Each structure stands twice: as structure tokens, then as C-alpha cells.
Structure 1
Amino acid sequence: MAADTDKVFKALADRTRRHLLDRLHERNGQTLGELCAHVDMARQSVTQHVAVLEAANLISTLRRGREKLHYLNPVPLHEIQERWIDKYETPRLRALSDLKRRAEEQNMADKPTFVYVTYIESTPEKVWHALTDADLSAEYWGHSNVSDWQVGSTWQHLRTDGSGIADVVGTVLETVPPKRLVITFGEPSQVTFDIEPYGQIVRLTVTHENLATQEDYDVISAGWPAILANLKSLLETGHVLPQAPWEMHAELRAEQMAANDPQ
């Protein structure tokens, strides 16, 4: 973890790299050529800066046809915020941050997109099975993903308490076992799972598009890394993490809020 944090701080120490992250924050999913248009230096130099950001996991990439698109990955920044900023913040600073966020939401021209990449010591077939099997998804997600997974079919994200309540209902848009699954995730967003062999392991890319608000983006930015960490643990070790990451996140946030409460 310390080594990863060092890479993030090193990447952020350069003004050009911060500028590239700003450009992706303004408009996610840009090609290298589009990023180069905003930087006054040779394409090779920009490529080297992008490589440093990728090594720090601050940028993830996704191929669409012949294009390679670059996406801002906010997870490392969020971890730094929790480790180095949140514990020092005051309610006043939080209020100012919320005010700034609401102002930015009003100016958003495009709906935000979240991209997360993880590497799993498994096979594409096992990853596909874990995503689409009701029993397995219940183990690492806390909900059962139920469908026949045919294009046009409904899928349900059912609670595991026996209530039969579906917290999310969507439609299967594309299914290419064991490579690609595209579903609507409620309305109006959609999620794409790209499963690719990567040497002896698997590269899993989750793209959550067309999010309605910045608040939705903030919620899923914390949710997907937690879910995929549990999935990775289950496939690599045979069991999920001792405590669900989203439960730990909620407890830590509650502790931080209690510590910042002047009463």
C-alpha cells in the first residue's frame, strides 16, 4: 500500500500530469491525441506522463474499436483524501466542499462516467460465472444477480434476506460469454463488464456510464472498488473478505463524522 501511495504522490508532483488529470476531469474518455492538444510538448513526452499516471492507477484505459480512451480513476485520490485529509477536516470545510460540488453539478454538460480496472488470478470463464451466477454474486456482492442473461431479458439485483426485493432492475443489452456483458443499471445508467485474458490472469474493466448526477458518481466510486475487491478475494482464495469493504467504509465515515461533531 505504501509503495502504491508513493507512486500516486510522485505522479501528482508534476504540473503537466496534474494538468492531464484536470483535462480528464473536465471530459472523461479522451484519446492520447486529444490529451496532447492541451499540452505544449511532443507526443512522446505526453505518452511518458500518461504512463506514469497509469502506473499510479490514476488513469485507466479502455479500447473502443481502434481508439484507446483514457479515463480518470479517482480511487487513489479518494484513498489519499481519507488517509491525509478527512481526519483533519472540520464541519465548516465539509460544508464549503459540498457547496462547491453543487455548483459544479449545475455546470456539468455531460453525464459522468466511472471506469475501474482490476486484475484477478482466475480465468475469464470463472469471472463471467461469478458475475452472472445468483449464488456467487450473493456471496461477494450481498445481492443475487438473477437473469437468463439473454439480450433483451430483465435482470434483478435481489436482496439476500429472502424478501424478494430487487434494489436494482435492469435490462441485458449485450452478452458475449465470457468476454463482455452490458446491462442497464436502473435508469438511466448502464454498466459494461469487459473480461480479458492478461497473461496468466484476467483483466476486468467495469465502465459505469450515463450517471445522472455527481452524487451518483461519488457513490459508485466507493461502491465498485469494494465489490470488486470482494469478488477478487473470492475467486483467488475461495472466500470473501472478513468484513465487506462497503461496511468498513460506512463505519469509518461514521467515526469521522462523530469525531468532527463539536458536541
Structure 2
Amino acid sequence: MNVPDPDAYGVTTATDTVCFERLLPGPIERVWAYLTEPEKRKQWLAGGEMELKAGGEANLLFKHSEFTDEPAPEQYAEMNTKGFSSQHRILDIDPPRMLAMTWPGEDAHESEVVFELFPEGEKVLLVVTHKRLADRGEMANVASGWHAHLGVLATVLEGGRAKRFWSRIPELEADYQKRFAQD
């Protein structure tokens, strides 16, 4: 088995797509719960209800103070205090193996995120694919966010609490801008 690096960079798999792989503590039902249950999901990404069916609504509330004590930069301050809501639609679902949903972007550009889970013994391989991204700038922004959030998820599943989140974002975004400029 080829074990993914727990902090590996996402890779481009198409001109508008970035993909991440993380090997997480299982079982698969536990990781699925952290993708779909609001109280668990808010510990690493965003709370909010999801209608777990194709065509269902997902109303996510990004309030990062629920998983990090690190202060947010001024431009993201509301993400730590009152939170930021976004509306998504479930495109496809196959519990506990796959969840595909829309992801709102800038200028009303909608992209798509697919979460896939694969049992690997006592662990679970999570593959996150974010596609239909508008351009390389959006790819770098999205990739840095997923990279940091997936780090929080791994920490939470291992029983910890995120120490660094916001301070990682600028360095990750700069790294992704360089990486994607070379692709």
C-alpha cells in the first residue's frame, strides 16, 4: 500500500481540478460522520445542516473559532466571530463512500467537491477532489484552504485540537501559487 503523506500537497489532475489524499484513523463510518454530521463537521470545516440525498441542500456555517483559537487575519475576522454561511447542493451520495456537492465561488462561479472514502485496514483513505475551478488563482486559494482544513480533520480524528490554522493559509497559498504556475 502506498501511504499518502499526512501533510502532502494537493495535485492538479486537470486544468481546473485539485485533488488531495489523506490516510485517516477509521473506521469508515467515523470519517463519514465527520463529513456529514454538523456537530462533527464543525470541528474541522463548517457546521450546518445537510439533506443527505441527491438534490438536497447543504447550508454550511464556517465559524473557525469552533476548531482553532488562533486569531483570524482581518480579511477573515468574521469567520472566527459570527461565521460565514454558504449554500451548497448535494449532487450525488453513496453512504459511507462518496459525497459530491456544489461549492460556491467568486462571481457566482460554482465548482464541485467530491469526497471519497476507501477502507485501508484500520484506516480510511480520504480523497477530496475539487473541480471546475475558475482559474489558477482560485485553485491556489481553494487548495490552501483544503490543505489546512484536512490538517485539522486529521488532528481531530487523532484526538487533538488544531494549534495552527490561519497562520498556515498564507504560506500554503504562496506555495500553491508557485506549484500551479509550473503546471
- Distance change (3 Å), C-alpha of 1:184 and 1:251: closer
- Aligned-pair distance for 1:239? 2.7
CA contact (8 A) 2:100 2:114 kept: yes
The partner residue of 1:249 within 168, 173, 177 is: 168
What's 1:68 paired with?
none
What whole-Å deviation, never above 9, does each CA across 1:186-242 have from its counterpart, x for those lacking one?
A: 142100000010122100000000001111101112111111111111112x23222
Shift in Å, 1:182: 0.4
Could you tell me how far apart the structure 1 residues matched to 2:87 and 2:117 are? 23
Residue 151 (str. 1) matches residue 61 (str. 2): no
CA distance in 2, matches of 1:164, 1:241: 18
Deviation at 1:159, TM superposition (A): 3.4
**Aligned in 2, Cα 1:134/1:212: closer, same or farther, shift over 3 Å?**
same
Q: Does 1:182 align with 2:100?
A: yes
Of Structure 1 and Structure 2, the greater helix share is in 1
Contact 2:4 2:21 in 1 (8 A): no
**How far did residue 152 of structure 1 move?**
0.5
> Which of 192, 199, 207 is matched with 2:129 structurally?
207
Give the strand-richer structure, 1 or 2: 2
The equivalent residue for 2:26 is 122
Q: For the Cα contact (< 8 Å) 1:193–1:206, is it kept in 2?
A: yes
Indicate conservation of the 8 Å contact 1:111/1:212, yes or no: no
Structure 1's consecutive aligned runs of 4 or more residues displaced over 4 angstroms after TM superposition are 54-57, 161-165, 250-253
Structure 1 residues 194, 243: CA separation in 2 closer, same or farther (over 3 Å shift)?
A: same
**1:97-108 matched pairs, under 5 angstroms:** none
Q: Given the alignment of the two structures, is residue 73 of structure 1 paired with residue 73 of structure 2, yes or no?
A: no
Task: Give RMSD over aligned pairs.
Answer: 2.7
Partners of 2:15 and 2:134 lie apart in 1 by 6
Q: What whole-Å deviation, never above 9, does each CA across 1:28-64 have from its counterpart, x for those lacking one?
A: xxxxxxxxxxxxxxxxxxxxxxxxxx8886xx9xxxx
User: How many Å separate the matches in 1 of 2:21 and 2:82?
Assistant: 33
Change (3 A) 1:210 1:127: same
TM-score (norm 2): 0.70
Deviation at 1:162, TM superposition (A): 7.8
Change (3 A) 1:159 1:207: closer
Kept in 2, the 8 Å contact 1:189–1:211? The answer is yes
Task: Count how many residue pairs are aligned between Structure 1 and Structure 2.
Answer: 147
TM superposition score normalised by structure 1: 0.50
* Higher RCO (C-alpha 8 Å, min separation 6): 2
> Highest Rg: 1 or 2?
1
